[in-house]
A and B are shown apart, each in its own frame.
Chain A
């Protein structure tokens, strides 16, 4: 009997594990696959290196429309972006048969980890999609080429780009990034959820009090989340909040926080804690779950939450899943100042180590200025910087309502915008982490908002002083 019991236990446990193992089988094989793929990539690179040598050896005869070059290019994005960017590269190769690309698409997660190791080993791709968050770090370490000469000699035509915007790519006097798009903070909302709660859609003149009322109404009437945003994932929304208080997030020398009064920060924490405690906003636990869903299955898209804070390409990004979403400007502060700003969406930078800078610059010019390229891009990377291209895209009438909204929004936001803040300081991602930690200590009830605000200041000042 006892023996039987043991046998039963063993069999049951084995069964459970077999199930779990089967459930995870794809995972382990996927991993070994990726290991294999990594090996393959390495082999490929070696092969490519070999090919290059042979190419160089046979370079003399092929003096037709310019030498054959391979441009390595990397970007982050979703599957949609990967697909059309590959199409874009193919189209360029068709126009310039001597230029071929080696594309290295990636998701946002891990993109900069990989890039930093590539940069460290001197194998940074020739063209790099760059974010405002990191451009200073790379510029300060001399990893990025100065594009000013190419803009001066007309290789990259920037005559239709707003000079203020263009200069966001200039760091310590070097033009280290060609800005590709503009974006601005928005509040995205799901009109049908608001209709369900019988709450009027917000206009551009709404305030934080209206925002809270909206969240409360949605919660009371429908039981859904008023907002599904992660308000402390980074400091963008907080930055907006600080600017509304007439201050700036960082001091001019970037060695410390710019605002003087910790109450600004404490108020921000308090507001969100109140919303979370009332079930109106996603608490950290719920938010962690929301994050695993991915943007296209997020609660605002599926109609389980009313609003979110995002960038102005939000509705067009998720239009394939839900094309009824709308955007408005983020709430204003009663009696506050203009908090919005036009943020450079992303940049193309060229690696200092690149041997094909001329060709890379020519491609960037084509990307920014050609109608053909922008027919393919369709403003997926944000509102194009070239005013001519914007006019062209509006003129073609091929844009969806969401894309039209995105373009209109830039104009609406411009009205409410203050001056563009300086690029993020070095150590920004660490500051963001410190901010999140401070905020979570409030959300989890382990510190008062005043304590957390003071702790954030101490942390941030130390990080900034060390890095800048």
Chain B
């Protein structure tokens, strides 16, 4: 009886989240499966067209492949860079220091604000035509015909750079993992005369592999969902060189009223992410070291 009462309170307290979860997330998700098999255009009554939307993506849609290409390049470049940078900063911060809390907060700030429109607008100004970066390059006598954002060859890098800048959450996870590596390991290494690099590659990295694995999966999933940056900074341009997959499906849905097709695109992305995750999990036995022996 008492237990039941306790539960009731819990459910009441959970209600806001549960309502959000079902109303904004789970139910819409299942509805979108249905829409992906229809010709829904936001305004009509959807009628069932089977797998036509999926067929269309793979056989007729050149933009689909372009968006895929851009998103894959983005993920493959971004994730290693972001993790490396996060680890680097985490190592710097892994010291006993008075202001450690302050630094940790400061470095985390970009991750909080990085996804916002305002920062993207600032980014656009910095790297755009007549922006700060171009002016600095001019000072050094490097005359660019096009700005970094305006050049199809470099635009994606600007977006990647912004992603790397948002390294905070991985950094925090690395930091806490670093703190858990037993000091005795380092001490004995020191006694054996190992230098910094050897300690790093033989102790730190192996001990961190579970964390690296965790971060890797998290960041890959995040990377595939990139939207704000390419929407605001470049609007997918120039020449679709930054047309991210989610931006493309957003355009399909809300600019071209192609909702059914757009839902199909969304589910293709889900499948791609799932494949990536499963493959990574399969490889983990080969490189991830669990001190406790692991579950598998």
Bound-complex Cα distance A136 to B165 (A): 44
Beta-carbon nearest neighbor of A137 in chain B: B257
Q: Cα distance A440–B41 when bound, in Å?
A: 29
Q: Which residues of A contact B121 (CB under 8 A)?
A: 27
Report if A220 contacts B (CB, 8 A): no
Pairwise interchain contact A292-B128, C-beta atoms closer than 8 A: yes
Instruction: Establish whether residues B116 and A437, one from each chain, have CB atoms under 8 Å apart when the complex forms.
Output: no
Measured CB to CB, the closest approach of chain A to B77, in angstroms, equals 22
Cβ-defined contact, A441 with B239, below 8 A: yes
At the interface, yes or no: B270 with Cβ under 8 Å from chain A?
no
Would B110 and A429 count as touching, CB distance under 8 A? no
Given contacts A24-B122, A116-B257, A119-B42, contact A286 B129 (CB under 8 A): yes
A23 touches B122 (CB 8 A): yes
* Residue from the list B42, B112, B255 in contact with A120, Cβ < 8 A: B42
Q: Which of A411-468 contact B (CB under 8 A)?
A: 427, 429-430, 433, 437, 440-441, 444, 446, 462
Chain A binder among B100-108, B183-191, B284-292 = B100-108
Q: How many residues of A contact B (CB 8 A)?
A: 46
Q: Apart from A6-B95, A14-B106, A285-B150, what are 20 other A-B pairs with CB-CB below 8 Å?
A: A6-B92, A14-B103, A14-B107, A18-B106, A20-B110, A21-B109, A24-B118, A27-B122, A28-B113, A113-B255, A116-B43, A116-B257, A120-B43, A284-B237, A288-B128, A292-B125, A429-B256, A430-B256, A440-B237, A444-B152
Cβ-defined contact, A117 with B128, below 8 A:
no
Q: Known interface pairs A21-B106, A23-B122. Does A10 touch B113 (Cβ–Cβ under 8 Å)?
A: no
Cβ contacts under 8 Å, B151 to chain A: 285
| B contact residues around A278 at 8 Å (CB) | none
Contacts of A462 in B (CB 8 A): 60
| Chain A residues at the B interface, C-beta cutoff of 8 Å | 6-7, 9-10, 13-14, 17-18, 20-21, 23-28, 30-31, 112-113, 116-117, 119-120, 137-138, 141-143, 283-286, 288-289, 292, 427, 429-430, 433, 437, 440-441, 444, 446, 462
Chain A hits for B255, CB < 8 A: 112-113, 429-430, 433
Q: A17-B109, A285-B146, A437-B239 are in contact. Are A141 and B118 (CB under 8 A)?
A: no
Report A-chain residues with C-beta under 8 Å of the C-beta of B43.
Answer: 116, 119-120, 137-138, 141-143
> 0/1 per residue, B231-266, Cβ < 8 Å to A?
000000111100000000001001111010000000
A440 to B93, CA, bound (A): 46
Residues of A within 8 A of B124 (CB): 292
15 A–B contacts, CB within 8 A, in A order: A17-B106, A17-B107, A17-B110, A25-B113, A27-B113, A27-B119, A31-B116, A116-B257, A117-B254, A141-B41, A283-B146, A283-B150, A286-B150, A289-B130, A429-B256
Q: Within the assembled complex, what's the spacing in Å between the Cα atoms of A7 and B98?
A: 12
The number of inter-chain residue pairs (CB within 8 angstroms) is 117
B117 at the interface (CB under 8 A from A): yes
- Chain A interface mostly: helix
Known: A440-B237, A444-B238. A289 touches B256 (CB 8 A): no
With A and B bound together, what is the CA distance between A23 and B97 in angstroms? Answer: 27
| Cα distance, A137 to B42, chains bound together (Å) | 11
Decide if B44 is an interface residue (CB 8 Å cutoff).
yes
A132 to B92, CA, bound (A): 58
Name the A residues within 8 Å of B75 (CB-CB).
none
Within the complex, the shortest CB–CB distance from B229 to chain A, in Å, comes to: 14
CA distance A120 to B151 in the complex (A): 38
Contact yes or no, A285 B113, CB < 8 A: no
CA distance A20 to B116 in the complex (A): 13
Within 8 Å of chain A (Cβ to Cβ): is B204?
A: no
Residue of A nearest to B256 (CB): A430
Contact A440 B106 (CB under 8 A): no
CA distance A422 to B166 in the complex (A): 49
Interface 0/1 of B121-140, CB less than 8 Å to A: 11011001110000000000
